[in-house]
Structure 1
Amino acid sequence: MSALLPDSGLPDALGARRLSQGITATWWYTVSGVMIFQVMVALIWLTVLVGRDTDPLVVAVVGVTSLLWCAASVPLLLQYRHRDDSAGPFANWRGIVVPMAVAVVFGVLAGVLTGIWVFGALPIAQSLMLLNWPRGIRVRLLVIVMVVLGALSFIDLRTSFTDVDVRESSGWWLFTFFAVMLPAMTVMSLWWWDVLVTLDRARAAEARLGATQERLRVATDVHDLQGHHLQVIALQLELAERLLGKDDPDAALEQLRLARTSVADARQGTRDLAMRFRGVPLPDEIANAVDLLRAAGTTADAAVSADAAAAPASVLGPVIRETTTNVLRHGGGKWARLSLSLSRDGRYWRYEISNDAPHDSADTGGGSGLEGITRRVTEAGGDVHMDRGKGEFHVIVTVPGSAIGAEAGR
């Protein structure tokens, strides 16, 4: 896709920006999910305390400190977003010491005030799950934490809840379930984030590898072409030099003529090589344009006639690239449609691209790019028509079937 608009840099910029936005949104979904689950556990926690007729002052203190614990979890999550796989959980100890201290103080305070063990262990266990543990250690630690929380819940049920009605209340069982599952849900959410980051890094590495391979291929072709011709030219010039030393100027002149011919062949070969990389069949141009628009988040489709490969690519190729750039720069970004077809009489090719136009933009589609398209198409004997409808923008280009010859002669 980046080959579609090699000079603008726009596809890479737009694709990277929109992909970054999607990854950022996914990260905040992850943070929101963890925090909502944690706050919900804290609310159920308070419900259990109220159901036990706990002193209102204790309920108030536990409620306020539970909010502080939830707030202290946010810095740990923010640090996790930029985790380094090679770093340990305490590599950035200055950033975790305050949140961990809040969790420990809150856990001890809640455990002492309520006399319930799991209340004291849960904040510490949850905060430990948010640290940058290696994956293998994280799973083992999760198993240990869930077993400990389950055991403490059972102990609390046997020792702190003597009233049968309270012991059988749904609030306690609900809290027990969510308390044990909170670390597991947190680890699963962070694991999903790790998978997303790994896939994004793999995508970026694949893109860099593809670009590197393409550069190597071009460099190899240029080296083979130029190396051959330069070697021949060097031998011809060396032979001419020897012939001059033997007082045979006619033969030396013939070798110089051959060297000049080799130079011309090298120039033509280089020109042909450049045209081979530049010349993309129009169906491929449109397919690349659709892929590029979709990568930028636009819903795009195309209708291309079966014989589109015979269309004048030298004229319509730059038109397709420039109009695609125009949609990316000035379009609304929701939808785009492309079409390329031959007129019924077979005399003209008709290319059309339509897209949504932002309502707050009066110059949609403007700029020197479309002016350059108009000049190019006009010189090839064609016509360009632009139409701004209500919330839509259309560019219609018609060129004669023989435009390729006119363009090539130019």
Structure 2
Amino acid sequence: MSSPSRLSAPVGDPPPGARQLARGITATWWYTFSAVVFVELFLVFIWTLRVFVEPGGAVVPLVVGIGGLVWWLSTMPLLADYRRRLDAEAGIPWARIAAPLLIAIGYGVAAGVLADSLLLGAMPIAQSLVLLNWPRGVRYRVVLFLTALLIVLAFVDGARGATVGGPEVWGPSLYAVLILSMTVSSLWWWDVLVALDRARASESRLAATQERLRVATDVHDLQGHHLQVIALQLELAERLMERDPAAALEQLRLARGSVDDARQGTRDLATQFRTVPLADEVANARDLLSAAGLEVDTAIAADTDQAPADALGPVIRETTTNVLRHGAGRRARLSLSRVAEGWRFEIVNDADPAAPEDRIGSGIDGVRRRITEAGGTLEIRETEGEFGVIVTVPARETAPTSEGLRR
């Protein structure tokens, strides 16, 4: 299976996967931002062309064009403020919106009077109002009202003879009426994405909380049982100390055995929660590399639950980190399959020509030691433009599986 990703950025600290995941919503914002400002700039351009072809000298085109650029720049702080909002704040942040609104009013009045167009006079004011952080549900009513107002003003201009002519005349009027709906649709998509991102974050926090509660419950049950038994054994030993020292000593031995059982049970519980199915390990590695901007191909055998997860799991994590640190950040290939010698894991990535020649650091040395202890082999393969790590470990007659750990 394949999981392509087109994000790209230099790899470094903090971890690339986390950084690229955070940048996904940022990239979408810049698409939204560029769409809105492009529509505004295009509208200023076509209105400037419209007044330029009409008689009246060069003053009107200069006011409409240069004033339009100033108004266009003033809308960018409003968009930036819109991005930072969580929800509409209580009250009106006059300190942030006063200047952009005054620029919109000034430009609208000047351009509308000089161009003799009520529609041009109202359009920049309406557009700036749409960009404000309205409370939930209010923005759409504002857009509907202002759009209806612009339509009325367009008809008034037509009745006064200000828009009589061909497409070069009524085209700017049409865009002036539609800019509000185009803007709010772009911002609506951004709001949807923010809501989905918050839901994803909330789901992750909820899953983490549920897992902590499950761990706490298991630890409480395990330790509570053993501690109760130890307390009873010590109490019995205390009662028998004077009457039957030998029996009291035996109870002390039993209490020590209960302590050992509690310690071993705690270790086993910790091992359970540290064990991750190998299929999930490879899937996590694929998702991390994809989030870092690589095109990732994976091939996972269907019976990976029979592979030695305690040996291969750390290998998968360490080699994935090695790809993020030393790879060129374009392609990677992961495979986990059964072979005659046992199980074979292979990870190959494109090598960065600018990186140091020695790509085998302490992490790979740790992988070599672990695989040697497990009775397996490690192969480093370097070709022109590629770097690969191939690990083979023997199969076990009774391999540990984590299926029983899943709830």
Compared CA separation, residues 154 and 321, structure 1 to 2 (3 A):
same
Q: 1:60 aligns with which of 59, 62, 72?
A: 62
* Inter-partner Cα distance in structure 2 for 1:364 and 1:159: 78
Equivalences for residues 64-103 of structure 1 within 5 A: 64-88=66-90, 91-103=92-104
Q: 2:360 aligns with which of 352, 363, 366?
A: 366
2:292 counterpart of 1:320: no
Q: 2:165 aligns with which of 154, 168, 180?
A: 168
1:312 CA displacement: 2.6
* Inter-partner Cα distance in structure 2 for 1:355 and 1:274: 33
* Inter-partner Cα distance in structure 2 for 1:82 and 1:216: 34
* Helix, strand or coil at the partner of 2:153: helix
Task: Tell me which residue corresponds to 1:48.
Answer: 50
Task: Tell me which residue corresponds to 1:30.
Answer: 32
Aligned length: 388
1:50 CA displacement: 2.3
After superposing on structure 2, the runs of 4+ consecutive aligned residues of structure 1 that deviate more than 6 Å are none
* Inter-partner Cα distance in structure 2 for 1:281 and 1:31: 42
1:276 CA displacement: 1.4
Task: Tell me which residue corresponds to 2:347.
Answer: 353
Normalising by structure 2, report the TM-score.
0.89
2:225 counterpart of 1:231: no
* Helix, strand or coil at the partner of 2:329: coil
CA RMSD for the aligned pairs? 2.2
* Inter-partner Cα distance in structure 1 for 2:292 and 2:151: 48
Aligned 8 A contact 2:119 2:150 in 1: yes
Aligned 8 A contact 1:357 1:364 in 2: no
Task: Tell me which residue corresponds to 1:3.
Answer: none
Aligned 8 A contact 1:381 1:403 in 2: no
Aligned 8 A contact 2:88 2:133 in 1: no
* Inter-partner Cα distance in structure 1 for 2:254 and 2:116: 101
2:191 counterpart of 1:194: yes
* Inter-partner Cα distance in structure 1 for 2:22 and 2:253: 59
Task: Tell me which residue corresponds to 2:136.
Answer: 135
* Helix, strand or coil at the partner of 1:300: strand
1:170 CA displacement: 0.9
Residue-by-residue CA offset, 1:337-364 (whole Å, 9 max, x unaligned): 1222333xx3343221111222321347
* Helix, strand or coil at the partner of 1:332: strand
Higher relative contact order (CA 8 A, sep 6+): 2
Compared CA separation, residues 123 and 195, structure 1 to 2 (3 A):
same
* Inter-partner Cα distance in structure 1 for 2:327 and 2:199: 30
Q: 1:270 aligns with which of 257, 266, 271?
A: 266
Larger deviation: 204-213 or 73-82? 204-213
Structure 2, gaps ≥5 residues long? 1-11, 400-407
2:223 counterpart of 1:209: no
Task: Tell me which residue corresponds to 1:301.
Answer: 297
* Helix, strand or coil at the partner of 1:167: coil
* Inter-partner Cα distance in structure 1 for 2:86 and 2:230: 55
Q: In the alignment, residue 217 of structure 2 is paired with which amino acid? A: T
Q: In the alignment, residue 157 of structure 1 is paired with which amino acid? A: G
Task: Tell me which residue corresponds to 2:6.
Answer: none
Task: Tell me which residue corresponds to 2:333.
Answer: 337
* Inter-partner Cα distance in structure 2 for 1:240 and 1:11: 57
Aligned 8 A contact 1:380 1:403 in 2: no
Compared CA separation, residues 284 and 147, structure 1 to 2 (3 A):
closer
Residue-by-residue CA offset, 1:147-194 (whole Å, 9 max, x unaligned): 111111111111143xxxx71321222111100001111111111111
* Helix, strand or coil at the partner of 2:87: coil
